[in-house]
Amino acid sequence: MALDILIGVALVLGIIILVHEWGHFIVARLCGVRVDVFSIGFGPRLFGWKRGATDWRVSALPLGGYVRMAGQDLSDVDSNDVAPTGASDELMSKPRWQRALIAFGGPAVNFIFPLILLGVFYAAVGLPHSASLRQPLQVSYFSTAPAPSSPLHVGDRIVQLNDLKNPTWESALEYLDKQGPDTPITLIIADRDGERTIRTSLKDGNSFNKLFGFAPFPPIIDEVAAGTPAKRAGLKSGDRVVEVNGMPVSYWGQFVDAVRQSKGQPVALKIARKGQILSLSVTPQQGLSDSTENTWQIGVVNQDDIIYQRADGGRSRQTFERTRERQATAKRCWHRAGIRRSSSPRPVASHPADGFYQREPRHPQPFADSDS
């Protein structure tokens, strides 16, 4: 394990150094400076080839690389170094502004290179989206305390939100995030009896959660924080909550609700883990997060599947703006739904079952969290 980490660190640092040196090389050539050596690695030369004035080589220690430009004074580190002659293609023969550009070339390419990689990745794979938030906007679960005040009912599917047709949870959150709290909202609802129209708004504390309920996240635990009730109870990453206090659980919001309403009493859980059903008991406590809400919490974060969708070709600027918009909207809507991104290196959209990790929304009045 330690060896794998060392190899990984060496590989990443090696790539960063190589890219850095490539930046120096490119700018030096553009400024007419002769580059004598471009080496992958350090130490004795193993093999390579000569192209133009440059010796392209692979050296014995694969820990990055270096470039040697004509006219550099390296006599203090290399006894075989040739002293500058004043030739026009030597580094020190160039004006100061060109030497400054050459020095800046390495850091500049280090900055640009990740952006290029991200662009290639998004073009080839697509932008990440929460699979749950990409589902149609259909009411799945309301908090039971206090009693739901929404004109909607569990099972209602919103087929139109103002001029937004067939909204998903994601598109509805993005749309409403751009509106003011007094903006009238007209919903066309599909249910068993056909369609009906509802007119409402997000003012007077009627937050997104109170209107539409919890987003349909699966009740799967992704993170268990150390030193919390969940850790002491034996909950683990990957556990699926199937029952809370004898009631079946289909959505993460039901788990959130039961924990918040426990008032510190033990909560009986049934957990699916590796094909087995386990019975556990966890006792929520207050004060686990820095949230101003003094809610009952256990210290877990849930998991959501990520899907990738490619953007349309030829719209890089629009895609960039759309990406920033989605990231900002997701950050706010994840807070409103009790959600946060996992700090895991893998792309996981997560939210606290119990208000464990919360952040301040950008628009606290129209989009304040519900009491759940």
200-214: average pLDDT: 76
User: What digits encode the pLDDT tens for the residues 275-333?
Assistant: 999 999 999 988 776 654 678 889 888 887 777 776 554 444 444 444 444 444 444 44
- Summarised one tens digit per residue, pLDDT across range 96-146 is 999 899 999 999 999 999 888 888 887 777 777 778 888 888 888 887 666
Q: Note the pLDDT of residue 75.
A: 55
The candidate with the shortest Cα–Cα distance to 320, out of 112, 110, 118, is 118
Query: What are the structural domains of the chain?
Result: 2-124 (no CATH), 217-350 (2.30.42.10)
**Average of per-residue pLDDT values in the chain:** 76
Residue 359 pLDDT more than 70?
no
- Name which of 197, 191, 195 is nearest 154 in CA terms: 191
Could you tell me the pLDDT band of residue 41, with boundaries at 50, 70 and 90?
A: confident
Stated pTM of the model: 0.56
Percent of all residues in the chain with a pLDDT value above 70, rounded to a whole number: 76
Q: How confident is the model at residue 270 (pLDDT cuts 50, 70, 90)?
A: very high
Given a contact cutoff of 8 angstroms between Cβ atoms, the answer to whether 250 and 219 are in contact is yes
Taking CB atoms within 8 Å and a gap of at least 24, the contacts of 68-74 are 68/35, 68/36, 68/37, 68/39, 69/24, 69/28, 69/33, 69/34, 69/35, 69/36, 69/102, 70/33, 70/34, 70/35, 70/36, 71/33
State yes or no: pLDDT of 355 exceeds 60: no
Three-class DSSP category at 139: coil
Average pLDDT for 38-47: 87
